[in-house]
């Protein structure tokens, strides 16, 4: 049995003929940059999400950078961002000369802690970045109200949660990434909607912002050779777009397959007192980019990882070190702020194999070995 964290080859097999013909179509047309599949994919994804505009770009990190540029944030402006996240979120903030203000997360959802964020607001705070970690949305209703009261932009980092659905107190629903002023995502191969290389996109319902984003992603030009602002070159290749047109049609079934695997894990681990299974909020579905459990600190998470590896089961630690302890980001640490939850999570979380094509026998095998570690 060869178990992988993410099995992209198995995912490819059932759609390979369709993918091959999509690729051949691009080769025949030889429209490698901004060919028709790019706008076709943007249109299809905007319909799928219920977002007015989807603007594709080169990767999820660029998507975040473009969002901050298009919102017109200026050097010195402060942006609140969780310390327990992938580095890309804070990286672009620092790169643009903005100041990432790191905040702790909630112990159950692993998402941004809004109470902690309210203590960090200053006259320079301009934006807040909820990261929908592992596939479940942060509390967007609360965050939108928090941001509106303080006049902040909300940039949703949806790289791990495309398809998660948020329910508001009035009963209405919206997809994660379409609620804030801007949402960003990544099509990195292992993401829930992955292409065969790098890719990313930005979502917005604001026409002006969409026009700005398009202009900035394309060297700051609306009309060729007329550069109104300093932009960048960040595009989704036609080949990747053609692949994504095919894969988007599978995204609902991919989400369901992940949820089914997660439900199997949940039912097996619920009874084990040393394991916390992933929290399910009442306001968001979970699309399980990762299936991440928390281990009681009386047990060694690293010993569990080694034990699983001995038995041919891969596992990952997302993330072993919070941003405030990273060399590059220490300078942004506020000495008066503590991050007890994030520090604890870095020692106690472990992510188990999670993908769209896990077999029942594999799930059984993984569960058996996790359980036997605690016996
Ligand atoms: C993957 C990821 C990104 C970056 O996406 P890339 O396409 O790899 O640049 C940003 N934020 C989060 C939370 C991610 O998981």
* Best of 68, 82, 86 for a ligand 1 pocket test (most atoms within 8 Å of beta carbon): 86
Backbone angles phi, psi at 311, to 5 degrees: -100, 15
Q: Is the CB of 11 under 6 A from ligand 1?
A: no
* Best of 57, 60, 135 for a ligand 1 pocket test (most atoms within 8 Å of beta carbon): 60
Query: How far is the CA of 45 from the CAs of 11, 215, 260, in angstroms?
Result: 20, 20, 24
- Residue 213 is encoded by which pair of tokens? 């984003």
DSSP state of 196: S
The span from the CA of 362 to the CA of 373, in Å, is 17
pLDDT of amino acid 40: 98
End-to-end CA distance of the chain: 24
Residue nearest to atom 5 of ligand 1 (CA): 60
Distance 12 CA to ligand 1 centre (A): 22
| CATH number for domain 8-248, candidates 3.40.50.720, 1.10.490.10, 3.90.226.10, 3.40.640.10 | 3.40.640.10
Atom index in ligand 1 nearest the CA of residue 59 equals 7
**Which segments within 26-179 are labelled E, that is strand?**
53-57, 78-82, 99-103, 125-128, 153-157, 165-167, 173-175
The span from the CA of 74 to the CA of 67, in Å, is 13
Is the pTM above the cut of 0.95?
yes
pLDDT of amino acid 13: 97
**What 3-state DSSP class applies to 308?**
helix
Q: Within the chain, which residue ranges are assigned CATH 3.40.640.10?
A: 8-248
Distance 191 CA to ligand 1 centre (A): 9
Residues 6 or more apart whose Cβ sits within 8 Å of residue 13: none
Q: 203: left (phi > 0), else alpha (psi -120 to 50), else beta? A: beta
pLDDT of amino acid 332: 86
Tell me which residues of the chain have a pLDDT lower than 50: none
> Environment class of residue 331 by beta-carbon count within 10 Å: exposed (0-12), middle (13-18) or buried (19+)?
exposed
The span from the CA of 177 to the CA of 193, in Å, is 14
Query: How far is the CA of 10 from the CAs of 14, 163, 257, 356, 358, in angstroms?
Result: 8, 21, 13, 9, 9
**What 3-state DSSP class applies to 3?**
coil
Residue nearest to atom 7 of ligand 1 (CA): 60
**What 3-state DSSP class applies to 294?**
strand
Residues 6 or more apart whose Cβ sits within 8 Å of residue 228: 215, 220, 221, 222
Distance 156 CA to ligand 1 centre (A): 12
The span from the CA of 375 to the CA of 357, in Å, is 29
pLDDT of amino acid 2: 87
Residues 257 and 14 sit within 8 Å (Cβ to Cβ): no
Classify strands 182-186 and 153-157 as parallel, antiparallel or unpaired: parallel
Residues 120 and 333 sit within 8 Å (Cβ to Cβ): no
Q: Is the CB of 89 under 6 A from ligand 1?
A: yes
Q: Is the CB of 186 under 6 A from ligand 1?
A: yes
Count Cα neighbours of 7 within 13 Å in the Cβ-side half-sphere. Answer: 20
Q: Is the CB of 195 under 6 A from ligand 1?
A: no
**What 3-state DSSP class applies to 200?**
strand
The span from the CA of 213 to the CA of 305, in Å, is 42
Q: For domain 251-373, which architecture applies?
A: Alpha-Beta Complex (3.90)
**What 3-state DSSP class applies to 356?**
coil
Residue nearest to atom 2 of ligand 1 (CA): 159
Q: Within the chain, which residue ranges are assigned CATH 3.90.1150.10?
A: 251-373
Distance 125 CA to ligand 1 centre (A): 23
pLDDT of amino acid 331: 86
Q: Is the CB of 157 under 6 A from ligand 1?
A: yes
Residue nearest to atom 3 of ligand 1 (CA): 60
Q: Is the CB of 60 under 6 A from ligand 1?
A: yes
Distance 86 CA to ligand 1 centre (A): 7
């Amino acid at each position: 049995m060869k178990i992988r964290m993410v099995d992209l080859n198995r995912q490819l097999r059932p759609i390979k003929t369709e993918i091959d013909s999509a690729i051949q179509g691009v080769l025949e047309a030889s429209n490698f940059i901004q060919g028709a599949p790019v706008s076709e994919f943007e249109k299809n994804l905007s319909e799928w999400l219920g977002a007015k505009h989807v603007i594709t770009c080169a990767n999820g990190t660029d998507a975040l950078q473009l969002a901050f540029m298009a919102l017109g944030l200026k050097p010195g402006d402060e942006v609140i961002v969780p310390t327990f996240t992938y580095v890309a979120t804070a990286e672009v903030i620092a790169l643009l000369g903005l100041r990432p203000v790191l905040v702790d997360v909630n112990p159950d959802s692993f998402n941004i802690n809004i109470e902690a964020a309210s203590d960090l607001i200053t006259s320079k705070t301009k934006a807040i970045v909820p990261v929908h970690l592992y596939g479940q949305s942060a509390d967007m209703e609360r965050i939108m109200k928090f941001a509106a009261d303080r006049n902040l932009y909300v940039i949703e980092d949806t790289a791990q949660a495309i398809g998660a659905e948020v329910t508001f107190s009035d009963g209405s629903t919206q997809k994660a990434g379409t609620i804030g002023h801007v949402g960003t995502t990544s099509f990195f191969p292992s993401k829930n909607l992955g292409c065969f290389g790098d890719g990313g996109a930005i979502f917005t319902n604001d026409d002006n912002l969409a026009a700005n984003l398009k202009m900035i992603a394309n060297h700051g030009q609306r009309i060729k050779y007329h550069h109104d602002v300093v932009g960048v070159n960040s595009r989704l290749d036609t080949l990747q777009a053609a692949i994504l047109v095919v894969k988007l049609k599978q995204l609902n079934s991919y989400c369901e397959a992940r949820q089914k695997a997660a439900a199997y894990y949940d039912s097996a681990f619920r009874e084990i007192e040393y394991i916390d299974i992933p929290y399910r909020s009442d306001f968001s579905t979970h699309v399980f980019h990762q299936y991440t459990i928390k281990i009681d600190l009386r047990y060694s998470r690293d010993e569990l990882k080694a034990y699983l590896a001995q038995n041919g089961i891969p596992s990952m630690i997302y993330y072993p070190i919070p941003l405030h302890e990273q060399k590059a980001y220490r300078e942004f640490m506020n000495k008066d702020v503590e991050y007890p939850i994030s520090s604890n999570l870095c020692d106690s979380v472990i992510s188990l194999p999670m993908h769209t094509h896990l077999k029942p026998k594999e799930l059984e095998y993984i569960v058996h070995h996790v359980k036997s570690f605690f016996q």
